[in-house]
Structure 1
Amino acid sequence: MGTRTETTPTPPRAGRSLSRRHLLLTGAAALVAGTAAACGQGQPSGGGSGSAASPSGGASGSSSAGLRPVSVAAIPIVDVAPLHLAKDQGFFEEAGLDVSIEATSGGAIPFPGVSSGQFDFAFGNVVSMMVARSQGIGLKFFCSGSTTTGEPGNDNVALIALEDSGYEDIRDLEGKTLSSNQLANIGDTACRQAMDKAGGDGGSLEFIEMAFPDVQAALENGQLDAGIVVEPFVTPALQAGFVAVSWPYAEANPELDTGGYFASEDTIEKDPELVRSFRAALVKGLEYAQANPDEVRRITGTYTKIDPKVLADVKLPRFRAEFDMAAQEELAATARTYGTIKGELSVPDMFAEL
């Protein structure tokens, strides 16, 4: 247990060729490739934003309608549907805000974007925030955004394998090679935590970095034993005959909040009313999304390239505003154990008091 080691992908198993189930997934993968490229839950970096559109210039100034312009960076995935619904339903406008949602091409982009003042707020995953805070970057969450359902078999993240793999649960993957779309981040950390909780050795898992659309083919050619996929790839994979060996987020902790909305410490300290008003409207969006799954699917179709037929069946995360602190402490402990967090980190300090 301890330090993660990287492995060289193994050659294809003899006699293994692409099957019809992989071909069935190819069309769906092509339709959602744009979304998948934006699903990267990377660690913070000092790079540029790469946003799809120019931000509105931060929270300064006022719009022609007398509303205060606010820019929010968010990767275009199902998890941020409540943000889009809050705008669609007029919750932000009622709060006096003109919110511009800027689609970003990767999960790491919002962190330097908010730090530099390019964006007022952003959505990001919790392990990326842990890494940022441990590196001394002054960012804090002020609202949760996406939470595991806590129900294996009915969650939006799964570890999939071939139907004839013989793997039935995460303990069967001890010592095996898995994929994650970003190494040393939330995917592999949650898998290690789920393995430890099941009585296995999370340190025995080997991970290689792989984009979600590539997992099925890698399983077919023997490069992987199992791979992490998120919706909209989970449901099509299961329909095509792959099996879910584990639902790692739900098994790591049924109350695990996986992502949330954050701001710079400077904004929180100098403009708390802006943060409070934005959060209040966002909370309405979260509550609306949780109560109206059909609306989540509808609005997701307006900002992603997911095939409507796929979107109709995908499993949704849970939406709530408050973080479960015990689950965050537990995840942070796992991240420390396996070297994802190397600097000092106070979990309570990750969250703003408004």
Structure 2
Amino acid sequence: MNRPGRVGRARRGSVRAVGLLATLLAASLTAGCGLFGGSDEAEGSGDNTTAASGPLEKTTLKVGVMIGIDCSGAQLALLNDTFKEEGLTIEATTIQSGALAIPSLAGGEFDITFGNWVSFIKAQQAGIVDMKFISESYLSTPNSNFSVIAAKDSPINSPKDLEGKRIAVNAKGNINELLLRAVLDANDVDFNKIKDGLVEMPFPNMAAAIKNGRIDAAATIDPFVTAAQKEIGAKIVFDMTGAGPTENFPLSGFATKKEFADQNPNTIAAFQRALLKGQQLAADRSKVEEALPKFAKMDPQTAAIVKIGQFPTTIDPKRIQRVADLLVTYEMLPKKLEIEPLVVPIPSENG
């Protein structure tokens, strides 16, 4: 089959990957409610083409959220009352992962949920739920979030060294595996020599598993990379969000059911405007550092040194299409999925 990843490799010859998260900090979290709040008023700003305007069809929204770096835009929107300014009250439930939130979206437990694009795209094509994508949340950058780590005295020093080794991922078939496969392909490593060694494991357990020898390496994310370096002196073997065809890859975003979007266009537009303000605030790293201890239960010292990617202020169908196409490339999606029809543009400033 066509391997566009190999074309990119020949052109750039550098490590590449997809990132997100989104499953990201998920495995460290437990379900809970009441983190977010709001009420009153309306009006706001936007960044894309127009959307609906007018009275809100619904003012209280049930939203699935994750308490991670990639959700910082939403966290800042909450801290700065931008949802309240749009007339929205947010009733939030902390989700363990985007994949686990999808059945709740399908069943009506959530009106909107955060999640990683791999989980959303796979669920959409499988017919689990008919979705609309309403916001991007986080993009990978070189040295932003994802890394493969090993013990400081490990002989593993390159992607090739992973052959025949036991490698932890937080879940098989998700964004972490996609990212790892992209890096391996970029370095001419046959994934078939790796896949039998993949071990599913929550991110918080990976450092201890490396220390006691249960695994040889781990594909993990910050703040767990930083924690592993502090706790066991772990070394970073390679960056999984480095320069190459998957640089600046979209990791995560927010989605709703198509039916809900169709019935509540003004409410969705208000949510988008409020979230956009949070994304804009997240461009200031000091504000992200302020939010992380409050929402991610991260100590201020760690928040000051964790690696941070980008918080997009648009929703770009072509960008998200790259994720869907890479899933097809690595046979993690049976056929191409067109993203553009699934995207609800962010409303214009006067929308």
Structure 1: runs of 5+ lacking an equivalent: 2-35, 42-49, 57-61
Of 151, 155, 174, the match for 1:166: 155
User: How many angstroms apart in 1 are the aligned matches of 2:320 and 2:108?
Assistant: 27
- Provide, for residues 151-192 of structure 1, a one-character-per-residue CA deviation record: whole Å limited to 9, x for no partner: 1xx312211012222333323324433111111100011100
- Provide, for residues 204-235 of structure 1, a one-character-per-residue CA deviation record: whole Å limited to 9, x for no partner: 32211011122122223333231022121111
| Alignment-mate amino acid for residue 144 of structure 1 | E
User: How many angstroms apart in 2 are the aligned matches of 1:168 and 1:88?
Assistant: 42
- Provide, for residues 309-346 of structure 1, a one-character-per-residue CA deviation record: whole Å limited to 9, x for no partner: 32232112311133555554443344234443246633
- Provide, for residues 122-169 of structure 1, a one-character-per-residue CA deviation record: whole Å limited to 9, x for no partner: 1100110111112112112111001112x1xx3122110122223333
The reply on whether 1:53 has 2:33 as its aligned counterpart is: yes
Residue 117 of structure 1 is matched in structure 2 by 108
Residue 47 of structure 2 is matched in structure 1 by none
User: How many angstroms apart in 1 are the aligned matches of 2:238 and 2:323?
Assistant: 17
RMSD: 2.9
Of 266, 270, 284, the match for 2:277: 284
Aligned residue runs from structure 1 range 318-337, under 5 A: 318-323=310-315, 325=317, 328-337=320-329
The reply on whether 1:307 has 2:287 as its aligned counterpart is: no
- Determine if contact 1:52/1:102 at 8 Å carries over to the other structure: yes
Structure 2: runs of 5+ lacking an equivalent: 2-22, 43-58, 347-351
User: How many angstroms apart in 1 are the aligned matches of 2:82 and 2:303?
Assistant: 25
User: How many angstroms apart in 2 are the aligned matches of 1:161 and 1:141?
Assistant: 36
Secondary structure of the residue aligned to 1:39 is helix
| Alignment-mate amino acid for residue 175 of structure 2 | I
Of 165, 173, 186, the match for 1:176: 165
Of 236, 241, 253, the match for 1:249: 241
**1:142/1:37 CA distance change after superposition, 3 Å:** closer
| Bigger Cα displacement from structure 2, 182-191 vs 88-97 | 88-97
Secondary structure of the residue aligned to 2:168 is strand
**% of aligned pairs identical?**
27
User: How many angstroms apart in 2 are the aligned matches of 1:114 and 1:146?
Assistant: 21
User: How many angstroms apart in 2 are the aligned matches of 1:37 and 1:158?
Assistant: 12
Aligned residue runs from structure 1 range 193-204, under 5 A: 193-204=182-193
| Bigger Cα displacement from structure 2, 169-178 vs 251-260 | 169-178
**1:37/1:348 CA distance change after superposition, 3 Å:** closer
User: How many angstroms apart in 2 are the aligned matches of 1:221 and 1:55?
Assistant: 36
Residue 351 of structure 1 is matched in structure 2 by 343
Secondary structure of the residue aligned to 2:98 is coil
Higher relative contact order (CA 8 A, sep 6+): 2
User: How many angstroms apart in 1 are the aligned matches of 2:157 and 2:275?
Assistant: 39
Runs of 4+ residues over 6 Å off in structure 1:
none
**1:38/1:172 CA distance change after superposition, 3 Å:** closer
**1:303/1:323 CA distance change after superposition, 3 Å:** same
The reply on whether 1:77 has 2:57 as its aligned counterpart is: no
**1:37/1:78 CA distance change after superposition, 3 Å:** closer
| Alignment-mate amino acid for residue 258 of structure 1 | L
Matched residue pairs, number? 302
Residue 131 of structure 2 is matched in structure 1 by 139
Secondary structure of the residue aligned to 1:143 is strand
**1:37/1:260 CA distance change after superposition, 3 Å:** closer
**1:181/1:351 CA distance change after superposition, 3 Å:** same
User: How many angstroms apart in 2 are the aligned matches of 1:330 and 1:205?
Assistant: 24
- Provide, for residues 272-299 of structure 1, a one-character-per-residue CA deviation record: whole Å limited to 9, x for no partner: 2211121112111101111x21221221
Residue 229 of structure 2 is matched in structure 1 by 238
Residue 186 of structure 1 is matched in structure 2 by 175
- Determine if contact 2:276/2:313 at 8 Å carries over to the other structure: yes
Aligned residue runs from structure 1 range 208-223, under 5 A: 208-223=199-214
- What's the TM-score, normalizing by structure 2? 0.76
User: How many angstroms apart in 2 are the aligned matches of 1:235 and 1:55?
Assistant: 25
- Determine if contact 1:189/1:331 at 8 Å carries over to the other structure: no
Of 100, 103, 106, the match for 2:94: 103
